[in-house]
């Protein structure tokens, strides 16, 4: 039974602390639509998505109104298109991308993910066609997201795919130069990507998933921040283990709310409920920042010495509290540190407190990785590949998900600002130390072998 104080605390989260359900994502399997006829496939695709997701937005809004908890984003994820659309050429896949975008617009969702390929051990014909289509596909659409898994702890790192995708990022940036390389904000390169992610740009529906499923992503940086402020105001001698307990209890409440909303939406759509993703997802709004939590913990800013330890504690406490609140946890389930999407983190990067090497260090203890990082437009494909490879290595060795969502901003240099708009925010372009020093290593190609699973250290 909830106490009166706990009920009042939850109401305070809703009214003043930016508590919301960040995303409800409907996963749809497309494997039964496979055909060699591209036009027929597009017809089936449009019919499946507009049919199954027709009431998704309305149901989310209805449930949100009933419980007084807004569902900020409604999204769709589909089976990896490189598999479902393996027979098609890159030209046909661009048309299919536009059909996916059309379907997303017709049902009113914010994004649709799944223009994806899983290439950790090699590149099949469908993978190559899809990757070739990506720059044009992401330029010609507004709601489509793409993701690529290039590494796993079991398979190692496919360095040929890493370099190919780095060149693809450069091409996508060039096609959207007038929007500061916006197309790159809609694609991520991953290690150990989960199959049930509700967050973009990584969302796709894996081969082990049901025909349709609802996955939910909760939020709560502002809620955690205010909970810590209240606890530390009441007792200014709180130790870190006691602070961790405050975060755990807060994560428990947030997760219960997310699961409540997700199960109700799934019930009304008559599809199974999948998972709650426990990630702390910031927005560019004041008071809803992961970076502000660091300041409450006594650090001058994110990036100061101690930041990695603080993030490790935060991430672990969120997982512990969330895991106790739900038996269906999945996705990324960690703290996001997307530079442009978090006002406080973007300011720390602009002031030089948060550098690329420090960001990389932080990603060793959090989800998901180098996220929404704006880089100089003249950063070479080989240097981008080297940055991605470093990030993949962190994921592979530590048996966790990591990712790189890098944006080489055409025509701009370090210190200038890039603007992406909306939830994607804006960020100062940060320098790349040692740029150009990795070309020979990256061009060796091949695959970094899978790490030894025993003798962990």
pTM of the model: 0.94
Q: Give dist(CA 72, CA 24) in Å, integer.
A: 8
Element (H, E) at 212: strand 212-218
Q: Mind listing the pLDDT tens digit for each residue in 280-297?
A: 888 777 777 889 999 999
pLDDT surpasses 90 at 340: no
Residue 112 scores a pLDDT above 90: yes
Q: What is residue 191's predicted lDDT score, i.e. its pLDDT?
A: 97
pLDDT more than 90, % of the chain: 77
User: 57 to each of 122, 201, 353, 366, 448, how far by Cα in Å?
Assistant: 38, 19, 40, 31, 43
By mean pLDDT, which of 15-29, 67-81, 175-189, 442-456 is the weakest?
A: 15-29
Helix (H) / strand (E) containing 318: helix 307-325
Q: Which of 219-233, 308-322, 347-361, 384-398 has the lowest mean pLDDT?
A: 219-233
pLDDT digits (tens, 9 = 90+) for 61-110: 999 999 888 898 999 999 999 999 999 999 999 999 999 999 999 999 99
Give the single-character DSSP code of 457: -
pLDDT digits (tens, 9 = 90+) for 131-154: 999 999 999 999 999 999 999 999
The two structure tokens encoding residue 173: 């940036």
Got the DSSP string for 348-403? HHHTTSS-HHHHHHHTTTSSSEEEEEEEETT--HHHHHHHHHHHHHHHHHTTS-EE
- Cβ 216 vs Cβ 198: under 8 Å: yes
Reported as a pLDDT band with limits 50, 70 and 90, residue 305 is: very high
**How much helix, strand and coil, in percent to the nearest 5, is found in the chain?**
45, 20, 35
| Calculated CA dihedral for residues 203, 206, 212, 217, nearest 10 degrees | -30
| pLDDT at site 186 | 96
Q: From CA 341, how far away is CA 274, in angstroms rounded?
A: 26
Confidence category of residue 442, pLDDT binned at 50, 70, 90: very high
Residues 6+ apart with CB under 8 A from 434: none
| pLDDT value for 14 | 64
Burial of 70 (0-12, 13-18, 19+ CB in 10 A): middle
């Amino acid at each position: 039974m909830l106490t009166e104080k706990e009920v009042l605390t939850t109401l305070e989260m809703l009214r003043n602390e930016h508590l919301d359900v960040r995303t409800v994502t409907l996963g749809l399997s497309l494997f039964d639509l496979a055909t060699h006829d591209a036009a027929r496939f597009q017809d089936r695709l449009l019919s499946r998505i507009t049919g199954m997701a027709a009431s998704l937005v309305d149901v989310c809004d209805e449930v949100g109104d009933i419980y007084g908890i807004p569902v900020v984003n409604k999204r769709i994820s589909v089976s990896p298109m490189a598999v479902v659309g393996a027979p098609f050429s890159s030209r046909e896949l661009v048309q299919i991308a536009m059909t996916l975008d059309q379907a997303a617009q017709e049902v009113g969702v914010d994004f649709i993910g799944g223009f994806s390929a899983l290439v950790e051990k090699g590149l099949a014909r469908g993978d190559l066609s899809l990757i070739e289509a990506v720059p044009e596909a992401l330029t010609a659409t507004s709601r489509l997201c793409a993701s690529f898994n290039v590494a796993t702890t079991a398979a190692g790192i496919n360095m040929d795919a890493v370099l190919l995708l780095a060149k693809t990022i450069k091409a996508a940036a060039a096609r959207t130069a007038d929007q500061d390389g916006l197309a790159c904000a809609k694609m991520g390169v991953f290690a150990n990507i989960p199959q049930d992610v509700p967050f973009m740009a990584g969302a796709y529906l894996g081969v082990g998933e049901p025909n349709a499923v609802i996955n939910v992503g909760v939020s709560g940086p502002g809620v955690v921040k205010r909970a810590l402020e209240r606890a530390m105001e009441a007792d200014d001698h709180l130790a870190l283990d006691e602070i961790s307990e405050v975060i755990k209890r807060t994560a428990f409440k947030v997760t219960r709310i997310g699961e409540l909303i997700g199960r109700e939406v799934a019930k009304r759509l008559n599809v199974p409920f999948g998972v709650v993703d426990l990630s702390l997802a910031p927005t560019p709004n004041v008071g809803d920042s992961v970076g502000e939590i660091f300041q409450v913990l006594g650090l001058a800013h994110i990036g100061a010495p101690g930041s990695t330890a603080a993030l490790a504690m935060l991430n672990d406490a969120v997982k512990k509290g969330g895991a106790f609140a739900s038996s269906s946890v999945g996705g990324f389930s960690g703290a996001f540190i997307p530079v442009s999407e978090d006002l406080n983190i973007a300011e720390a990067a602009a002031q030089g407190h948060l550098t690329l090497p420090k960001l990389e260090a932080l990603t060793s203890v959090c989800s998901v990785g180098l996220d929404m990082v704006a880089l100089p437009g003249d950063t070479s494909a080989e240097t981008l590949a080297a940055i991605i490879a470093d990030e993949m290595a962190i994921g592979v060795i530590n048996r966790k998900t990591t990712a790189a969502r890098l944006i080489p901003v055409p025509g701009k240099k370090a210190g200038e600002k890039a603007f992406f708009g909306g939830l994607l925010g804006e960020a100062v372009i940060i320098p790349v130390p040692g740029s150009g020093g990795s070309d020979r290593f990256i061009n060796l190609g091949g695959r970094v072998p899978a790490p030894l699973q025993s003798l962990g250290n």
